[in-house]
């Protein structure tokens, strides 16, 4: 009995350290690249903790290098892209109008892709919100709906604390996604919830099969047959939503169309 009583504190300390290590592993798996565990003692658990810290540091280093490379490459591509745009403008009437229009469309799509890559890189690099202020979601949505004749806005005034530029981009990406992949009208609804605010955009399209509803938020994922878009729009929607204490998901609407639902923390 005495041995058992004496061993209990030791086992309790080991169990606590293992639970802490497990929590840090789960945090790393959830995307917290700064997750580390305190190394205590010199036993097997301590060596395991030290190995985890080394592996986590290496992963963080590789991901940071990848993000920096992507951001720098995107930034550097802006200069040659501007030169190409200028060359197309100088062509004036010398080129076939249809061919010139195709080139201008290609340049616009590439420019949009670079802009979204740079924004995604900034969101990854900066923690928390910069320039947060009270934002009237309904008013912001009304401004964005003016850009889309097929958009129908409904809801109530809801104020959240956030970055108006990021929230505007999120709304624009949702509306643009609905325009490209659905059919009019595009229904946008703003609602107040117990947990903050909810944005719902339904597109009257064919809907998205359940296995793909999570994949559409992956960077550069494009559904089979899709010919438009950068593949980053919905990934940015989720990034921005999570930066504002919420999330984004794809649901089935009343007519089996696709509805994108964004939740945001209260203001």
State mean pLDDT over 188-215: 89
Is the separation of the CB atoms in 117 and 71 below 8 Å? yes
Q: Which residue has the tokens 């892209």?
A: 81
Residue 204 Rama label (left phi>0; alpha psi -120 to 50; beta): left
Q: Helix, strand, coil proportions of the chain in percent (round to 5)?
A: 55, 15, 30
Give the separation between CA 40 and CA 47, rounded to whole angstroms.
9
Answer yes or no: is pLDDT of 249 > 70.
Answer: yes
Residue with more model confidence, 28 or 253 = 28
pLDDT given at position 59: 80
What crossing angle do the helices spanning 97-125 and 44-91 adopt, rounded to 10°?
A: 150
What is the distance of C-alpha 86 from the center of its chain?
Answer: 32
| Mean pLDDT, rounded, of the chain | 81
pLDDT given at position 229: 61
Q: Give the dihedral sign, CA 75/79/81/85.
A: positive
Model confidence band, residue 142 (pLDDT cutoffs 50, 70, 90): very high
pLDDT given at position 116: 75
Express each pLDDT in 172-195 by its tens digit. 999 999 998 888 899 999 999 987
pLDDT given at position 190: 96
Express each pLDDT in 85-138 by its tens digit. 777 777 766 667 777 777 777 777 777 777 777 777 777 766 677 778 999 999
Q: How far is it between the farthest Cα atoms of the chain? A: 97
Express each pLDDT in 157-169 by its tens digit. 999 999 898 999 9
Q: For the structural domain made of 1-127, what CATH number should be given?
A: 1.10.287.130
Answer yes or no: is pLDDT of 15 > 70.
Answer: yes
pLDDT given at position 129: 73
CATH class of 133-264: alpha beta
Express each pLDDT in 49-85 by its tens digit. 888 888 888 887 777 776 666 666 666 677 777 777 7
Q: Which residue has the tokens 């889309």?
A: 148
Give the separation between CA 4 and CA 177, rounded to whole angstroms.
64
Per-residue tokens: 240: 């921005």
Residue with more model confidence, 225 or 152 = 152
Domains 1-127 and 133-264 share a fold: no
So where are the chain's domains?
1-127, 133-264
pLDDT given at position 1: 44
pLDDT given at position 139: 95
Give the separation between CA 200 and CA 189, rounded to whole angstroms.
5
pLDDT given at position 76: 67
Is the separation of the CB atoms in 124 and 149 below 8 Å? no
Integer angstrom CA distances of residue 137 from 42, 54, 74, 83, 143: 54, 44, 31, 38, 10
Write the DSSP string, 92-127: GGGS-HHHHHHHHHHHHHHHHHHHHHHHHHHHHHS-
């Amino acid at each position: 009995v005495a041995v058992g009583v004496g061993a209990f504190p030791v086992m309790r300390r080991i169990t606590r350290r293992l639970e802490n290590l497990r929590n840090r592993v789960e945090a790393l798996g959830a995307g917290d690249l700064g997750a580390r565990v305190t190394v205590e003692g010199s036993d097997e658990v301590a060596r395991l903790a030290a190995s985890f810290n080394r592996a986590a540091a290496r992963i963080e280093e590789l991901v940071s290098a990848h993000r920096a490379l992507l951001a720098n490459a995107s930034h550097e591509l802006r200069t040659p892209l501007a030169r190409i745009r200028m060359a197309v403008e100088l062509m004036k009437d010398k080129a076939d109008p249809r061919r010139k229009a195709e080139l201008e469309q290609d340049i616009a799509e590439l420019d949009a892709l670079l802009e979204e890559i740079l924004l995604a890189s900034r969101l990854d690099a900066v923690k928390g919100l910069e320039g947060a202020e009270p934002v009237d979601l309904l008013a912001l949505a009304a401004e964005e709906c003016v850009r889309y004749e097929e958009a129908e806005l409904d809801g109530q005034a809801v104020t959240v604390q956030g970055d108006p530029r990021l929230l505007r981009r999120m709304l624009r990406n949702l509306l643009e996604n609905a325009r490209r992949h659905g059919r009019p009208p595009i229904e946008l609804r703003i609602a107040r919830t117990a947990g903050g605010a909810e944005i719902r955009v339904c597109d009257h399209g064919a809907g998205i099969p359940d296995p793909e509803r999570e994949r559409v938020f992956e960077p550069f994922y494009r559904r089979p047959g899709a010919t438009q878009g950068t593949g980053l729009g919905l990934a940015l929607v989720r990034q921005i939503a999570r930066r504002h204490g919420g999330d984004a998901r794809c649901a089935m609407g009343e007519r089996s169309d696709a509805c994108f639902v964004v939740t945001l923390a209260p203001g």
